[in-house]
Structure 1
Amino acid sequence: MPKKNKISDSEIITFYMEYVVEHQSKPDSVEDFCQLYQFEDAIFYEYFRSFKDLEKTIYNLLFQNSLVTLKQTPEYHSFIKKDKLLSLYYTFFENLALNQEFVKLNLKGFENQLKALSVFSRFKRSFIGFIDELNLETISLNVEIIETIQKKTIKESAWIQLLFTMKFWLDDSSEDFEKTDIFIEKSINTSMELIDTKSLHNIIDLAKFLYKEKVK
Structure 2
Amino acid sequence: MARKKNITKDKLISWYMEFVLENNHAPKSVFSFAKENNFEESDFYKFYGSFEAIEEAIFSEFFQHTLKVLHKSEDFESYDARNKLLSFYFTFFEVLTANRSYVVYALENGKKDIKKLNSLKHLRKEYTQFVEDLNIERIELKQETLEKIQNKSIKESSWVHLLITLKFWLDDTSASFEKTDIFIEKSINARFDSMDIKPLKSIIDFGKFILKEKVNFK
Question: Matched residue pairs, number?
Answer: 203
Distance 2:143 2:65 in 1: 38
In structure 1, how many angstroms separate the alpha carbons of the residues matched to 2:5 and 2:134?
Answer: 43
What displacement does 1:141 show? Answer: 2.0
Task: Give the TM-score, by structure 2 length.
Answer: 0.88
2: CA distance between counterparts of 1:109 and 1:121? 16
* Shift, 1:200, TM fit: 7.2
The yes-or-no answer on 1:20 pairing with 2:6 is no
The change in CA–CA distance for 1:42 and 1:115 in structure 2 (over 3 A counts) is same
Q: Greater shift after overlay, 1-10 or 56-65?
A: 1-10
The AA in structure 2 aligned to 1:167 is K
Q: Is the 8 A contact 2:76 2:84 kept in 1?
A: yes
Q: Which moved more, 1:21-30 or 1:46-55?
A: 21-30
List alignment gaps of at least 5 residues for structure 1.
Answer: 205-216
Gaps of 5+ in 2: 205-218
Deviations along 1:160-212, one digit per CA (max 9) or x if unpaired, are: 100110011111111111111000001100111111167977xx9xxxxxxxx
Aligned mates of 1:198, 1:136 — CA distance in 2: 13
Find the counterpart in structure 2 of residue 152 from structure 1: 152
Structure 1 runs (4+) deviating above 4 angstroms are 197-201
Contact 2:139 / 2:197 at 8 angstroms: preserved in 1?
no
Q: Distance in 2 between matches of 1:187 and 1:114?
A: 19
Q: Are 2:73 and 1:73 aligned?
A: yes
The one-letter amino acid of 2:158's match is: A
1:94-117 CA-partner distances (Å, limit 9, x unpaired) = 000000011101111211211111
Counterpart for residue 214 of structure 1: none
Task: Give the Cα separation in 2 of the matches to 1:44 and 1:199.
Answer: 56
Match of residue 83 from structure 1: 83
Percent identity reads 42
Residue-by-residue CA offset, 1:117-140 (whole Å, 9 max, x unaligned): 122111111111111110111111
TM-score after normalising by structure 1: 0.89
Q: Which structure has the larger Rg over C-alpha atoms? A: 2
* Matched AA of 2:77: H
Tell me if structure 1 keeps the 8 A contact 2:48–2:54. Answer: yes
Q: Structure 1 residues 115, 199: closer, same or farther in 2, change over 3 A?
A: farther
Alignment partner, residue 208 of structure 2 = none
